[in-house]
Amino acid sequence: MKTTTEVCLVELFRRGTAGFLYVEDQLIDSVTTLRKFWRDVSQPGFKLLFSVKANPNSSVLLALQPHVDGFDVSSRHEAALLRRLGISPTSITWSGPAKTDRALAEIYQHGADCIHLDSFDEWQACQRFEGQRTIRKSIRVGISDSPSKKLGFSADEFSRLLKSPDFKLSGEKFSGIHAYLGRDAFSTTKLAAFLEEVKTFRKADVWADDFELYLGPGLPAVLTTDASLRSGLIEPLREICSSHRMSIECGRAVSQPSGYYFTRVLAVKKTDNHVRVIIDGGLQHMAGHLRSPSYGQTGIETYFFRSAQRLEVSEQCADIQGSLSIWYDKLLENVKVPASLERGDWIVIGHCGAYGYTAACNQFIGPTPIGEWMLSSRGEMSNVFPEQLMSYHAVLDGR
C-alpha cells in the first residue's frame, strides 16, 4: 500500500465511516497492463471495454473513460448512468439476459454499438423496435461447460432462429459472435473450445462483412498484478489468438486491484482454538464474495490500524466474518492478524475494487424495480415500499 493511500485511509478512519477507497492510478495501471497484454496476443484493432457491472461508481467510470475503448452494460440502469456522464451510446455494448422490453426500447431510442443476443426470444423482441434505427447484433454462444446454462445460444437454439420464417424474411446479418467464459474462469483450453464453437456457428451464411469476436474472457483479477502469470500465458495465447481480432470486456481485472474496503472490528472471538474477527459490514456491503472460485484469496491483502497507527500482524490466524447472522457471511479465511487486535480497530482489505456496494444487485444492477404491498385485514391493499424506504433512510440520518 502506498503512503498516500494510507494517509487517505487514516483520514477516513477519523470520519468514522466504513466504505471503499478507489485509487485512480491503480485503475489506469490495470488498463495499461491489460491493453499491452492483449495487444501481444491478438490481431491489431481489438477493443478493450470495461464491464460496468463490476464497478458502476461514477468517479471510477469517468477515470476509466479516456483509457478504454468503450463500456459493456448488462442493464438499463448502467446505460442510463453512462449517458448521464456524457458517454456516447455508440461506445456501449449490451450483454446479459436482462434485456427487458423497456431496456430494448431505450437501446433503440438512444443507440448502441452492439447488442449481444442471448436467445431467440430476445431476437424476436428486438424486431418490434427495428423501425426506429438499425443496431448491430451479435450472437452469444453458450459455453458447454459453464455452470450456468442461461447465457447464450446453444447450437439447437441457433438453428431454430435460422429456420424461423421471421428471421428468413428479415435478411439480417449478424456482426459477430460473443462468449463469456465465467468469473476468473479463463483458460487457454476454454478459449480454444470457444473458437471451435465459432467455426460451427460461422458455417451459416448470416454474418456481416465486418464480423468481430467479442469475449468476456473471465481474466483473473490478479492478472494485472502478477507478471509471472501474464508471461506464462503469452505464448499459449499467441498460438490460439494470433489469427483473430478479439475485443475483450473486462471488469474485475480492471477495477479489483484499485480498491480498498475498510471497516471497524466489532469482536475478536476465540472458540475451539479458532479465531474469528467480526466486522461491522461484510456481504451487505458487497455484490459478491471476495474469494475467487479459481484463485481463492490470492492477491488479497489485509491491513490493521488502531487510530492512525498500523498494527503489525502476528502468526495468529483468523477468519474475517461479517455481521449478518448467516454462516456464509465470511470474507476471508486464515488471515494473519495482530495479537492485540480488539474491538474498535480498523481492518483494510485490498483488492476490493470490484462488485462492492455500488454494484450490489439491490443497489444498482437489478434490471427491474420491484415493490412491496400490504393486504390489510380489511381487504385493502396499499403500496408500502416507498414509505418503508424513506423511513429507513430517515432513521439512518437521525431524522
| pLDDT 10s digits, 300-316 | 999 999 988 999 999 99
CB 130 within 8 A of CB 124: no
Measured from the Cβ of residue 321, the count of other Cβ atoms closer than 10 Å reads 23
Separation of alpha carbons 139 and 55, rounded Å? 25
Q: What percent of the chain has pLDDT over 90?
A: 58
Separation of alpha carbons 41 and 236, rounded Å? 9
Place of cell 465486418: 210
Separation of alpha carbons 162 and 158, rounded Å? 6
Angle at Cα 18 formed by Cα 386 and Cα 1, nearest 5°? 140
Least confident of 21-35, 124-138, 151-165, 354-368: 354-368
Does the pLDDT at position 147 exceed 70? no
Say how many CA atoms lie within 13 Å of 341 toward its Cβ.
Answer: 30
| SS percent in the chain: helix, strand, coil, step 5 | 35, 25, 40
Phi, psi of 278 (to 5 degrees): -95, 130
> What pLDDT score does 213 carry?
92
> What pLDDT score does 99 carry?
87
For the chain, helix (H) and strand (E) counts, in that order, are: 12, 18
- pLDDT band at 393, cuts 50/70/90? very low
Distances (CA, A) of 224 to 26, 228, 229, 392: 10, 10, 9, 40
Q: What percent of the chain has pLDDT over 70?
A: 90
> What pLDDT score does 1 carry?
73
- pLDDT band at 156, cuts 50/70/90? very high
Separation of alpha carbons 333 and 321, rounded Å? 9
- pLDDT band at 296, cuts 50/70/90? confident
Which tops the pLDDT comparison, 243 or 13? 13
Q: What is the mean pLDDT of residues 290-298?
A: 85
Concatenated DSSP letters of 353-376:
-SS-TTT-TTTTT-SS----EEE-
CB 177 within 8 A of CB 141: yes
291: part of which helix (H) or strand (E)? none
Least confident of 285-289, 330-334, 342-346: 285-289
Write the class of the CATH domain 257-350. Answer: mainly beta
- The length of the chain in residues reads 399
The domains of the chain are located at 24-255, 257-350, 369-399
Beta bridge partners, 51, equal: 72
Which tops the pLDDT comparison, 120 or 151? 120
pLDDT in tens, 196-235: 888 999 999 999 998 989 999 989 899 999 999 999 999 9
pLDDT in tens, 229-277: 999 999 999 888 877 778 899 999 999 999 999 999 999 999 888 999 9
Q: How are beta strands 114-117 and 92-94 bridged, if at all?
A: parallel
> What pLDDT score does 65 carry?
97
Q: What is the mean pLDDT of residues 344-358?
A: 90
Residue 216's contacts (CB-CB under 8 Å, 6 or more residues apart) are 51, 72, 95, 178, 179, 180, 181, 248, 249
Q: Which CATH architecture has domain 24-255?
A: Alpha-Beta Barrel (3.20)
Does the pLDDT at position 389 exceed 70? no
Mean pLDDT of the chain: 88
Residue 361's contacts (CB-CB under 8 Å, 6 or more residues apart) are 287
pLDDT in tens, 100-135: 899 999 999 999 999 999 999 999 999 999 988 889
Which tops the pLDDT comparison, 140 or 295? 140
Nearest to 322 by CA among 298, 294, 365, 357: 357
